[in-house]
């Protein structure tokens, strides 16, 4: 596990533009659709503001002063229950395969537990195979159908983990 030169920190206003670029670049790289994904989310351009609410946090992954990824947690939209969602977890190639995904998921889940959430939900795409493997490795299990309504109708892999 190589963490040198990588920093995980809470998002700042100045990160918005770079983070939006990372998210959209990874979506295009993976061949994911632009519609029904984070690509078209209004929140993607205003990540700092989006996570400036109660029981929400977004962590940026920085490498030598450049934003190269991130992930966050917040209450699952349109769902009655004490469930958070692991949101907008995207890494540029430089950050992959180094154990940073597990480190960031752990940091998000610790914070979710601190916020009092009982479980964590996520959505992804079946062809994001490395991400699916990472989520399984970190204790997420597949669901038959989505929880809540995130408006990400193109994401058809749904997972949950009790925390």
Question: 83-102 pLDDT, tens per residue?
Answer: 999 999 999 999 999 999 99
**Confidence band of 2 (pLDDT split at 50, 70, 90):** low
Parallel, antiparallel, or unpaired: how do β-strands 66-75 and 83-91 relate? Answer: antiparallel
β-pairing verdict for 83-91 and 57-63? unpaired
Which domain covers residue 65, as residue numbers?
6-162
Decide if 37 is inside a domain.
Answer: yes
Which tokens belong to 49?
A: 């503001």
Domain membership of residue 1 (yes or no) is no
22 found inside a domain: yes
Rounded distance, CA 159 to CA 18, Å? 28
- Report the CATH number that the domain containing residue 18 is assigned in CATH: 3.40.630.30
Task: For residue range 6-47, list pLDDT tens digits in order.
Answer: 999 999 999 999 999 999 999 999 888 788 888 888 889 999
pLDDT for 1 equals 46
DSSP-derived 3-state class of residue 76:
coil
In a domain, 134, yes or no: yes
Range with the poorest average pLDDT among 59-63, 87-91, 117-121, 150-154: 150-154
Tell me how far the alpha carbon of residue 70 is from its chain's centroid.
7
Question: What mean pLDDT value characterizes the chain?
Answer: 92
CA neighbor of 87 nearest in space, from 29, 3, 148: 148
Q: Number of folded domains in the chain?
A: 1
pLDDT above 80 (res 67): yes
The pTM (predicted TM-score) of the whole model is: 0.93
């Amino acid at each position: 596990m190589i963490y040198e030169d990588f920093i995980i920190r809470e998002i700042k206003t100045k990160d918005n533009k770079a983070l939006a670029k990372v998210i959209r670049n990874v979506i295009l790289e993976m061949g994911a659709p632009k519609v029904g994904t984070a690509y078209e989310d209004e929140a993607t351009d205003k990540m700092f503001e989006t996570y400036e609410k109660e029981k929400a946090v977004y962590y940026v992954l920085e490498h030598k002063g450049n934003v190269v990824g991130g992930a966050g947690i917040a209450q699952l939209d349109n769902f009655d229950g004490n469930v958070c969602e692991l949101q907008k977890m995207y890494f540029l190639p430089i950050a992959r395969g180094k154990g940073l995904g597990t480190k960031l998921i752990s940091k998000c889940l610790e914070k979710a537990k601190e916020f009092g959430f009982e479980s964590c939900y996520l959505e992804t795409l079946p062809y994001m195979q490395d991400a699916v493997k990472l989520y399984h490795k970190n204790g997420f299990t597949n669901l038959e159908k989505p929880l809540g309504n995130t408006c990400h109708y193109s994401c058809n892999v749904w997972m949950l983990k009790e925390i």
